[in-house]
Chain A
Amino acid sequence: MKATVVVMAAAMAAWTLTGCGTPGVVAGGNVTLSGADSAQYLDKISSQPTVTEAQALEGIMLLLGQQRKLTFAECVKLLKDRHIVSQRWDFRAERPATRGKVAYMIYQACGMKGGLTLTLTGPSQRYCLRELQYRGMMAPGLPYNPVTGMEYVAILARADELRRTGRVSPVMLQEGLSQ
């Protein structure tokens, strides 16, 4: 009885620590990204209720100035090498991207420096989202909710300005917040 409890507790702890996803798996890796320029990409994304992970990663590539026609797997590898996406994530090309993942990628792509928790524990979806919300770059919401197309366009626009100029103009931020 005691051994069963110990085994169950260990399994529970392992599951909690590793998460329920399968890290490193890339589903739909041969899906080809559109390779469109950023104006066309943003126009298309703005019309969509959700953004797929493939499209979200393509947006990050455009943010980094990489307009290339890659497959989803190549894109994941490239972003993993640059530490823009986490090594622990699993990827599915057609799954809607969540706000947490988008926040993590934007945080890493912009080279932001967060608060105490982020400094001590490293970037995580939850705290990257909180940091971006604190800076007025993302709207309130939960990390596991999907991001809408119009919202992603707005986030990319702010991130692009931050990367190029080091600040975001107040008119693009949530009222009352400024960089």
Chain B
Amino acid sequence: MIRRMPRTLIAAALCALAYSDLYAQATRPTAKPTHRVATRPAAKPLVVIVKEVKGAAQRLLPGAKSKWVALKVGDKLDELTVIRTGLGARVVLRFADNSEVVINRATKMGIAEFRKDGNVTKTRLGLKYGSIRAKVERARGPSDFRVTTPVATLAVAGTSGEVAYMGDFGFNLKGETGTWQARVGRKLRQVQELEGLDSTLALYVDMVKSKMLPKLGDMFGGLTGRERLSMRDNSGGRGAIGFLPAGNRARAIIRKKKLDENKGGSITPGPVGRSRRRRRGHQEPPAPTSGSGYDYSTGAE
């Protein structure tokens, strides 16, 4: 009897809770609340102006068919602009908040986001390869300036520094003024003025790099499935060249892209999705090959 007592009590308590919840639902007013919800003003996109161009520098025109055009002084760039530079090239971008970014030689980067969100100027740049020098203006209000590389996200709390991502050594950062934060996964490292990254993040960078796929770009225009997955999994913020937002929205976009591809898209799926596709019984399209029989996707002859 004593042993059964607690069970009876628990059952009674649960019944009482359920009843009270049902009662509360039944008596809850169904009318919409009359008080006004404070709506946040929509973030306003800002413009970037090309201040200086030296050497071969191009930008990707957004649209269905990707087309690269030469970058000229005075060009106004929007969000989701992708820029690539060649050997000996140099491009200076002046942001609307007076920040300045110098794109060095052999670099591919994207402006993922540049907008005024409240009183904060939000800037998100993606760096696929190469190096950029950023000088962030803070006199005109608070600024949230971040650079995403394939292996790390760098947030500028200070004012200037140089960031590089190289395919062999990974990313590197030299702070000039102020403090930079380098984040690789959960590992965070502060870089002060005149400091560079030391080996404390090297292990984490190597771990991220080992997860990455060797094919980070697409020679046929647009992004490959592997690239999209790699960006989703390995980059913080938007993707490394500024195409993808993070989190659930990125997954939704990738899902939509996959659906489009299955409906007859022309993008060849990479090896990441192969096992899953095999299980589902999909027929794999042949890997892209050059006319000479050399398979660029695998490196095999």
Q: Can you name the residue of chain A whose Cβ is closest to the Cβ of B130?
A: A157
Give how many B residues have a beta carbon under 8 Å from the other chain's beta carbons: 50
Q: Give chain B residues whose Cβ lies under 8 Å from the Cβ of A43.
A: 84, 108, 217
Tell me if A172 and B167 are in contact (CB < 8 A).
Answer: no
| Cβ distance A119 to chain B, nearest Cβ, rounded Å | 27
Which one of A44, A95, A148, A171 contacts B219 once the chains associate, using CB atoms below 8 Å?
A: A44
Interface size range of chain A in the complex: 35 or more
| Cβ distance B291 to chain A, nearest Cβ, rounded Å | 9
Q: Give chain A residues whose Cβ lies under 8 Å from the Cβ of B293.
A: 94
Tell me if A46 and B217 are in contact (CB < 8 A).
Answer: yes
Q: Give chain A residues whose Cβ lies under 8 Å from the Cβ of B162.
A: 169, 171
Q: Which of B80-132 contact A (CB under 8 A)?
A: 84-89, 104-108, 128-131
| Cβ distance A97 to chain B, nearest Cβ, rounded Å | 11
State whether the Cβ of B155 lies closer than 8 Å to any Cβ in chain A. no
* Residue interface bits B63-85, CB-to-A below 8 A is 1, else 0: 00000100000000000000011
State whether the Cβ of B262 lies closer than 8 Å to any Cβ in chain A. no
State whether the Cβ of A2 lies closer than 8 Å to any Cβ in chain B. no
Complex Cα spacing A45 to B101, Å: 25
Q: Which of B140-175 contact A (CB under 8 A)?
A: 162-164, 166-169, 172-174
Q: Which of the candidate stretches A4-12, A16-24, A34-42, A79-87 sits at the interface with the other chain? A: A34-42
State whether the Cβ of B292 lies closer than 8 Å to any Cβ in chain A. yes
Tell me if A153 and B167 are in contact (CB < 8 A).
Answer: yes
Tell me if A164 and B297 are in contact (CB < 8 A).
Answer: no
Complex Cα spacing A171 to B172, Å: 6
Known interface pairs A41-B86, A46-B128, A139-B168; A52-B294 also in contact (CB < 8 Å): yes
Tell me if B217 and A139 are in contact (CB < 8 A).
Answer: no
Q: Can you name the residue of chain B whose Cβ is closest to the Cβ of A41?
A: B86
| Cβ distance B195 to chain A, nearest Cβ, rounded Å | 11
State whether the Cβ of B199 lies closer than 8 Å to any Cβ in chain A. yes
Q: Which of A138-179 contact B (CB under 8 A)?
A: 138-139, 146, 148-157, 160-161, 164, 169-176
* Residue interface bits A31-75, CB-to-B below 8 A is 1, else 0: 100000111111110111110100000000011000000000000
Tell me if A40 and B217 are in contact (CB < 8 A).
Answer: no
State whether the Cβ of B197 lies closer than 8 Å to any Cβ in chain A. yes
Which one of B55, B89, B107, B217 contacts A47 once the chains associate, using CB atoms below 8 Å?
A: B217
State whether the Cβ of A96 lies closer than 8 Å to any Cβ in chain B. yes
Tell me if B89 and A39 are in contact (CB < 8 A).
Answer: yes
Identify which of A31, A43, A95 gathers the most chain B CB atoms within 10 Å of its CB.
Answer: A43
Q: Can you name the residue of chain B whose Cβ is closest to the Cβ of A161?
A: B105
Q: List 12 A-B contacts (CB under 8 A).
A: A37-B56, A37-B86, A42-B106, A43-B108, A49-B298, A50-B296, A155-B168, A157-B87, A171-B131, A171-B162, A174-B169, A175-B198
Q: Residues of A at under 8 Å CB distance from B? A: 28, 31, 37-44, 46-50, 52, 62-63, 93-96, 138-139, 146, 148-157, 160-161, 164, 169-176
Q: Residues of B at under 8 Å CB distance from A? A: 55-58, 68, 84-89, 104-108, 128-131, 162-164, 166-169, 172-174, 196-199, 202, 214-219, 290, 292-294, 296-299, 301
- What are the 9 A-B residue pairs with the smallest beta carbon separation, nearest first? A150-B167, A38-B86, A47-B217, A157-B106, A39-B86, A139-B168, A154-B166, A50-B299, A38-B87
Given contacts A39-B84, A48-B296, A160-B87, 18 further A-B contacts (CB under 8 A): A38-B89, A39-B68, A40-B56, A40-B68, A42-B84, A47-B216, A47-B218, A50-B299, A62-B86, A95-B301, A148-B167, A153-B129, A157-B105, A169-B162, A171-B162, A171-B163, A171-B196, A175-B169
